[in-house]
Amino acid sequence: MSASGTPGGMVRLEGVERSYGPLRAVDGLSLTVERGEVMALLGPSGCGKTTTLRLIAGFERPDSGEISVSGETVAAPGRFVPPEKRRIGMVFQDYALFPHVNVAKNVAYGLRANGKKARGRVEEVLSLARLDGLGERMPHELSGGQQQRVALARALAPEPEVLLLDEPFSNLDAALRVKVRREMREILAEAGATTVFVTHDQEEALSLADRVAVMFDGRAAQVGDPESLYHAPATREVAAFVGEANFLPASVGEGVARCALGEFPAEGLAEGEGEVMVRPEDLSLVEGDGGSPATVLGREFFGYGQFVKVRLADGEVATCRASGRLRLGRGDRVSVAVSGRAAVFASPSARAGSTLPE
């Protein structure tokens, strides 16, 4: 990686737009990725994540706006640096390995150094990607996780300034994903690579990225570290997309929001209808009368915990996360209290949101 300073970020998008016919796939996107940072682009299908990655790589040209990589403008009105000149490594969703050459040759592809130096770098990067001793294997002789690491090693071999990963775990089964995710995190940290990866899986984004950009309709709705996105979502849409959430109807007035679980500060919100958002793990089932009365509707047990669905006094349904040891059945009377954070959002017509501290 280059040691030069990069004021303004390692990757910078400023008001970038890209349309396909009448469809605005990327709609005025501004985003900065710092050196060495792992940034996730998270959002539902069709929100423009892959198009953003392709714009950074140079496989697409923006209709307007500017993109810079390591301080150099690579796309702007009247300027376009082609992909091979951007010092960017890309790992495609299907890995795109060359099937007829072995792992070492796959990794050596793209290295412009002389044979000896290239061999040294191939070994170095195979070791970085936990592929020691597998250089002679053919791609079809590898597991899915190993194939992914070959693609990663190939992208890292020429020491790119920036690494781009498109849905890096989508080809792996659920059991393998968590393991591969951990390995990937370690490899990226060791490589010190500035990384942008695309995913529609919130758990993947929160667990792997230093910061996450949540995208809807070609725009970044919120960019932040995983904790603040999860606990202090800027909008209802972000709250709903980034994890499980209860939304309870509330009436807002005099700086508070009143819902079936009590009153919550709602400074700055206009009087009228609103919603209180509480994550299931911030709702506790408490003994006696310590909370609001509720009736158990059902539960979903997953070993180390369970989701308990309850009906509150006003008829609203909420989900609480409880210890897996708690034995509850349908119809049981319980008491529910907010034990963590809550956020209050205005009704969709008013749209401004306010997030409350713990």
Provide the binding-site residues for ligand ATP, judged by CB under 6 A: 20, 23, 25, 43, 45-51, 200
Nearer to ligand ATP by Cβ, of 200 and 299: the residue is: 200
Nearer to ligand ATP by Cβ, of 159 and 201: the residue is: 201
- Collapsed DSSP state (helix, strand, coil) of residue 209: coil
In the chain, alpha helices (H): 49-57, 103-108, 115-128, 144-156, 174-191, 202-208, 226-231, 236-241
Nearer to ligand ATP by Cβ, of 94 and 263: the residue is: 94
Rg, C-alpha atoms of the chain: 24
Q: Sort residue 96 into left (φ over 0), alpha (ψ -120 to 50) or beta.
A: left
CB of 180 to ligand ATP, least distance (A): 19
Task: Tell me the CB-side half-sphere exposure of residue 124, using CA atoms within 13 A.
Answer: 13
Q: Which of 205, 203, 190 is nearest to 152 (CA)?
A: 190
Nearer to ligand ATP by Cβ, of 49 and 181: the residue is: 49
Nearer to ligand ATP by Cβ, of 23 and 240: the residue is: 23
CB of 155 to ligand ATP, least distance (A): 19
Cα end-to-end span (Å), the chain: 41
Crossing angle, helix 115-128 and helix 174-191, to 10 degrees?
130
In the chain, % helix, strand, coil (3-state, to 5) comes to 25, 35, 40
Q: How far apart are CA 193 and CA 230, in angstroms?
A: 25
Nearer to ligand ATP by Cβ, of 55 and 111: the residue is: 55
Nearer to ligand ATP by Cβ, of 3 and 174: the residue is: 174
Using H for helix, E for strand and C for coil, what is the string for 8-77? Answer: CCCEEEEEEEEEECCEEEEEEEEEEECCCCEEEEECCCCCCHHHHHHHHHCCCCCCEEEEEECCEEEEEC
- Collapsed DSSP state (helix, strand, coil) of residue 134: coil
Amino acid identity, residue 311? R
Nearer to ligand ATP by Cβ, of 60 and 275: the residue is: 60
Q: Which of 340, 316, 344, 318 is nearest to 235 (CA)?
A: 344
Q: How far apart are CA 107 and CA 240, in angstroms?
A: 40
Please say whether the beta carbons of 199 and 167 come within 8 A. yes
- Name the strands in the sheet holding 211-216, side by side, starting at the edge strand that comes first in the sequence: 88-91, 162-166, 194-199, 38-42, 211-216, 219-224
Nearer to ligand ATP by Cβ, of 201 and 281: the residue is: 201
